[in-house]
Amino acid sequence: MKRLLSIFLCICLLLSLSACGEQTLGAAQAKKLVIWHDKEDAVIAALEKYLTSATPDLEIVFEKKSSLTDSLKLVGNDPSAAPDMFIFAHDKIGVFAEMGILAPIKPLLEEDSLANYIPMTLDAATYKETLYQLPLYFETLLFMYNRRYMQKEEVPSTTDDLLTYMKNNTGRGRYGFVEQHSTAYYFAGWIHGFGGSIIDENGVPFPNAKAVKDALNYHSQFVALMPGETEYNTVNTLFLEGKADSTIGGPWMVSSARAAGIDLGIAPMPTVNATGKALAPYSGIQGIYVLNYAAKHKTEAVKKLLAALTDPAIGIDLAMASGCAPANSLCYDDERVAKDELVQSMKATAEIAVPMPNIPEMDVMWTVVGNLLTDVNMSGKDINESFDAALAQANQLIDAMK
């Protein structure tokens, strides 16, 4: 028995080693496309349904990966382990393009197929003048409120109004407004509202130091009126349980808010009194990427799939399925999309939103800004000292990337 088991194990080992060798693609394999993603079920169900009818001769397999980017860093150039394509936000384009695993998208598309795309989505998907992602939809943060507690006339148009509302409506376990105040993705809107940015297009961290410090200083008044811990689960639960009157959250919160029976209102972002600029959150452009191997060896299948995805029909399906805003402007001609409050709010906010930087240096800035916010908001450290420490850490980490 032991001998048989040993022989079996030896055979398994040899087979797995032999599988590492180069293989030529059969006809069926050339039509099979594996797509990794980390999206919610509604988005993938809409894509699957549409692609089944739009590309019946292709076999498309969607695989959900929770740590998609880390997995791609490890196997991105290994055809036996990597997918053919993947769906992800645009902010990792720089990292993957520099690694050399992405294929440029334009040569795989028909001419003029991008003519109707919203320019902001194409700009965000472009790195060093090359388009590496076919945008599908975009999302951004929205100002949401519970109509049961915040009346329409109380919806703040400026940040000072919001602060006054918070002062009047916070206490005894209730909050006027909650947000993930110490998370870079959420605080970016405040920095932009003060005219600053986390990093510029040349990879320089905090190009406008004063704006960041002003934003931190002003924002601290709001932090004092929010719970100490404001990570994703706490903020969501407070809003969904009706303990917070308003919040800034993503479109992914909408379905759970409606399911929780919240009478949900969506309003434009308040304007910062000191600058006259609205809080401008980051926008994320979700789209599909093609890996080099698939672009070279499964060219026809990839072209067919991309052509199908440039059709406005899929944008409309996605908007209806999950409330996301399509990248193709033709989708907004559809009556259902035009009437959808969520999609229209997203489109309106996207006009002021700032696409997340897609340069590789941004990868370390999430941590740097997170540390800065934690120091100032949660540990009560001095803003100037914390900012200097964050700038030094940013420079050290960016230098260490090379």
Partner 1 sequence: MKKHKRDVIISYGWSFPSLILIALMVVFPIFYTAYISLTNMNVYHWFDFAVVGLDNYFRALFVFDSGFLSALFATIVWTVVNMVLQLIIAFVLVSLLNIQKLKLRKIYKTLLMFPWAMPGYVSILLWKTGMFNTQFGLLNQWMKKLGYEAVRWLSNDISAFICCTVVNLWLALPFMIMIMDGAMQSIDRSYYESAILDGADWLKRTRYITIPAIAPIISPAVIITVFTTFKQFDVVYLLTQQAGAKTGSGFHTILTYTYENAFITNNYGYSSAISIIIFILLLVLSARYQMKEGDR
Site residues (CB under 8 A) for partner 1? 6, 9-10, 13, 73, 77, 95, 98-101, 180, 182-183, 185, 227-229, 231-234, 237-238, 360, 363-364, 366-367, 370-371, 374, 377-379, 393, 396-397, 400-402
- In angstroms, give the least distance from the CB of 234 to partner 1: 6
- In angstroms, give the least distance from the CB of 363 to partner 1: 6
Q: Which is nearer to partner 1, 46 or 359 (CB)?
A: 359
For 78, the enclosing helix (H) or strand (E) is: none
Angle between helices 159-169 and 209-223 (to 10 degrees): 20
- In angstroms, give the least distance from the CB of 285 to partner 1: 20
Q: Which is nearer to partner 1, 312 or 370 (CB)?
A: 370
Pick from 26, 261, 263, 39: nearest CA to 144:
263
- In angstroms, give the least distance from the CB of 374 to partner 1: 4
The answer to whether 136 and 288 have CB atoms below 8 angstroms apart is yes
Q: Which is nearer to partner 1, 204 or 232 (CB)?
A: 232
Q: Which is nearer to partner 1, 255 or 374 (CB)?
A: 374
Q: Work out the angle at residue 266's Cα, subtended by the Cα atoms of residues 262 and 271, and round it to the nearest 5 degrees.
A: 135
146 contacts: CB under 8 Å, gap ≥ 6: 239, 242, 244, 245, 246, 262, 263, 264, 265
- In angstroms, give the least distance from the CB of 151 to partner 1: 25
- In angstroms, give the least distance from the CB of 344 to partner 1: 28
Q: Which is nearer to partner 1, 236 or 322 (CB)?
A: 236
Q: Which is nearer to partner 1, 3 or 152 (CB)?
A: 3
Pick from 21, 374, 332, 330: nearest CA to 183:
374
CA–CA distance, 331 with 132 (Å, rounded to integer): 22
For 212, the enclosing helix (H) or strand (E) is: helix 209-223
The answer to whether 378 and 228 have CB atoms below 8 angstroms apart is yes
